[in-house]
Amino acid sequence: MKAKRLIAMALAGMLAVSAAGCNGGGSSSAAGGSSSGENKAAKLVWAGWSGEEESTKPIVQEMIKSYNDKGGSQVTWVGWPWADTQQQLILRNQGSDQLDVAQVDIGIFGALANAGILEDMNELMGEDYLKENYDEAALKVGQFEGKQLGMPWSIASIGLVYNPTLLKSVGYDKPPKTISEFEDCLKKLKEKDPNIIPYGVATKEATMATDFQPWLWTFGGKLLDADGKVTVDSENTVKALNWYKSLLDKDYIQMNITRQDSRQLFAQGKMAFYDDAIASRGVAKSNGVAEDKLDVTIQPMERPVLKEGDTPQSAMWGHLLVVFKKSANKEQAVDFIKSIVGEEMSLKYLKSNGMLPVLKTALNSDDVKSNPWTNSWAGITENGTTLEFALKSNGSELNNIVVEELQGVLLGNKTSEKAAKDLSDRITSALG
């Protein structure tokens, strides 16, 4: 009974403290902006997730403060978790909340572009201006049906990263260049230490489809052709699927691995290769790798090719900035975007988080060229290809189909031939 009284008092105390500390009521709808059509100072709302995460919050706050301190338009931030961005943007676009600029992941850009809610940057900034000042490969990522609906903020490829120390321990001073060298390296790593996962390719969730596509391209396969026709049911797809299965059978990869898991295991020295982007160096550091050990722990590499002379494949990744059609402050929004992707801010972003700039002058600066890490990624990105479902309105559904069929093969539930056929049938049906 005494214990219960103590517990009741503790609960009452918590409630009293919470009531004292909280206030209710009031709307959080951001202040409206000035009328459109004139570049007067306005109150802008910038939405996304980077301003919420520990690693990127400081630089985003600096970007906003730096812009606000100039006088003129004032920017406020509205944030939510990365995984909820698409849902929140669609919801808020349909409501009456002010929404001017948003940070968008390349993975959800297609859904928003298809929804018809984004403004064409060619109209706002001028097509010639964009081509003259920004990297062409980066601009392509934000294009949809001939319009520039997304302004690239930081674009790079998802490539392979490797642990030089582990590779050196099995006789590889340089990363493998071909698939056969790659398999040989994986074999030696596994023989040396059976507890290591040689290659941490994603084997669950949507990232499994992201990691699979560059390998499919490496084997000469494609999910869709240039006209959008489904071409996945091919001999090359079967070869790619068989190869994936063989990696699992030989214990070079594992089931139930996500990219997040790979990042942590890699930082702990329990993995030799995995797929990631330019930000992976910062991730390794935040996962406990000492600054002076980074160079010997993580390095980028071109994806191994099927035969010498082939082009190494990689999937484009990055963040875009979009302006909404419903925004009453489009010109002010563009002015803010130019400030963020401008040389000063983009080089600060590169320094703090390793994100590649998109402005040509910034890409050619010493900060990029003299840094081996960013320079390597810039080279890998040159051959980057947009993921095949990136611009589809039902991209999530299509990626899930790829994940399910691939898992079916890995788990031995179906043959590669059957999986390729089922992929074709299901994707065709989903595309309508």
Nearer to other proteins by Cβ, of 45 and 410: the residue is: 45
DSSP H or E stretch at residue 314: strand 314-323
Q: What is the DSSP letter of 30?
A: P
- d(C-alpha 432, C-alpha 430), whole Å: 5
- Judged by CB, which is closer to other proteins: 28, or 370? 28
Residue 280 one-letter amino acid: S
* C-alpha atoms less than 13 angstroms from C-alpha of 121 in its C-beta half-sphere: 27
**End-to-end Cα separation, the chain, in angstroms:** 66
Output the smallest distance, CB 7 to other proteins, in A: 5
Taking the least distance from each CB to other proteins, the nearer of 22 and 226 is: 22
Structure tokens at 231: 């071409």
Which residue, 85 or 122, has its beta carbon nearer to other proteins? 85
Minimum distance of other proteins from residue 175's CB (angstroms): 22
CB of residue 418 vs other proteins: minimum separation in angstroms?
A: 34
Q: Which uninterrupted H or E stretch holds 61? A: helix 57-68
Q: In whole angstroms, how close is the CB of 280 to other proteins at the nearest point?
A: 8
Q: Which of residues 234 and 264 has its CB atom nearest to other proteins in the complex? A: 264
Q: How far is the CB of 395 from other proteins (least distance, A)?
A: 18
CA distance 416 to 395: 23
Q: Which residues are near other proteins by CB under 8 A?
A: 4, 7-8, 10-11, 14-15, 17-19, 21-22, 24-29, 49-50, 52-55, 78-84, 88, 91, 94-97, 105, 260-261, 263-265, 267-268, 270, 279, 282-283, 286-288
33 within 8 A of 44, measured Cβ to Cβ: yes
Residue (268 or 429) nearer to other proteins, CB: 268
Rounded Cα gap, residues 383 and 385, in angstroms = 7
The enclosing H or E element of 377 equals: helix 372-382
Q: Is 96 left (phi over 0), alpha (psi -120 to 50) or beta?
A: alpha
CB of 241 to other proteins, least distance (A): 28
